[in-house]
Amino acid sequence: MIGWTNYMTQPRQIAERLLDAQVEFLLAQVTGERFAEVIARDVAAVLAVGDTIAFGDVVSLEQGTETVATVVDRMGGAPILADTVGLFSDAIYDHIASNTEYSLGDVVDREPVEALLAKIFGMHQAQERILDRLTESPLVATVASRFVDKLVGDFVSVNMERAERIPGVSSLMSLGQSAANRAKKAAESTFVGDLAGKSATFALKRTNNAIQEMLRDAPVHSAAMEFWDLHAGESVSGLREYLTQKDLNELVQLCYEIAVTTREKEYFGVLVNECVAVFYDRYRDRSLSALLPELGLSAEDVTGEILRYGPAIIESAKRDGVLAGLIRERIEPFFFSDEVLGILGAE
């Protein structure tokens, strides 16, 4: 019986020694310069394997759709975004307000701005459709009518003040005002009011035509670029004159709210799925490694990013004994398995 106990104890002791040696070996692989060598070797090995595997062979369209949907659902509304979006806007505003080193032209190139404006002003179909839909709104017609009424009212008021300075004209103006008041009451009738509404709509359509002709024929693009050039040479700190820090914060928060609520809509999911399908059709025959350059990444980039953060994390875990414990926890079942103990006992 004692011999049998010794026979079983010896393989386990050997297994424990082998386990300790394996843990120390793996710890050495992630320490100092050796870690960089291991990462470079393993990244190259992974990419070599990736060259032999097509994207479509390991990722189905259904899987890709589910993954993107999960990312949009979980990360799109993550609490960290809600907590930081306002902080980011405040920080940006503070930096803009105090920065006089850079001009707007240093931050944004003129060429893409010019191309963007040219495209916007050249979208005649969109302009015409927007203006036509505006004329269909009774409220817009009312606003246009009030706008015209305001212009006419201000014109009459200014000229009345001038006319009243002339002797004898004041009484005539009073008579005219009385007549105008009676006309105003008459305008409140259904027929006259409806006629005024139609006139406002007609005037709005004529205004739309004038706007369309101006956008087509007048040098609006050149005028817009002159406006850009006027600001391009100024420091970015001048941008704060257009809105306050509170305005920027509220605008950012509102845009974020629109993005979050839109993300939850069913149709947004339909659009995302369509984009995933297009991506899948385009890249499913590419190898996994070939996708890295398409994403603007290289093996050196991947290795560099791992080495940027990995050593500090690993050294901290190693210093507290956490890393050794994790390694031991994962490989210990192998060394103490019946197969390994049987091999050691047979030796």
- Domain final position from 234, 254, 288: 234
Task: Indicate if 309 and 227 belong to the same structural domain.
Answer: no
- Domain final position from 193, 219, 234: 234
Q: Within a domain: residue 91?
A: yes
Task: Indicate if 172 and 198 belong to the same structural domain.
Answer: yes
Please give the tally of structural domains in the chain.
2
Task: Indicate if 13 and 91 belong to the same structural domain.
Answer: yes
Q: Within a domain: residue 256?
A: no
Q: Is the dihedral of CA 99, 101, 104, 106 positive or negative?
A: negative
Rg of the chain taking only CA atoms, in angstroms: 37
- Position 193 scores a pLDDT of 47
Q: Are 68 and 278 in contact (CB under 8 A)?
A: no
Task: Indicate if 328 and 222 belong to the same structural domain.
Answer: no
Give the range of the structural domain holding residue 120, as residue numbers without chain letter. Answer: 104-234
Task: Indicate if 87 and 208 belong to the same structural domain.
Answer: no
Q: Within a domain: residue 257?
A: no
Task: Indicate if 20 and 118 belong to the same structural domain.
Answer: no
Report pLDDT digits (tens) over 63-100: 999 999 888 887 777 788 888 888 999 998 888 878 88
Q: Within a domain: residue 125?
A: yes
- List all residues 6 or more positions away from 288 whose beta carbon is below 8 Å from its beta carbon: 50, 51, 53, 54, 55, 58
Task: Indicate if 118 and 230 belong to the same structural domain.
Answer: yes
Report pLDDT digits (tens) over 239-250: 888 888 999 999
Task: Indicate if 271 and 300 belong to the same structural domain.
Answer: yes
Task: Indicate if 299 and 216 belong to the same structural domain.
Answer: no
- Domain final position from 216, 234, 252: 234
- List all residues 6 or more positions away from 279 whose beta carbon is below 8 Å from its beta carbon: 64
Full-model pTM: 0.70
Report pLDDT digits (tens) over 184-235: 554 444 444 454 556 666 666 777 777 777 777 768 888 889 889 888 888 8
Task: Indicate if 124 and 205 belong to the same structural domain.
Answer: yes
Q: Within a domain: residue 241?
A: no
Task: Indicate if 123 and 181 belong to the same structural domain.
Answer: yes
Residues in the chain, pLDDT under 70: 1-9, 141, 144-145, 147-204, 218, 347
Q: Within a domain: residue 244?
A: no
Q: Within a domain: residue 167?
A: yes
Q: Within a domain: residue 183?
A: yes
Task: Indicate if 213 and 166 belong to the same structural domain.
Answer: yes
Q: Is the dihedral of CA 20, 24, 25, 30 positive or negative?
A: positive
- List all residues 6 or more positions away from 167 whose beta carbon is below 8 Å from its beta carbon: none
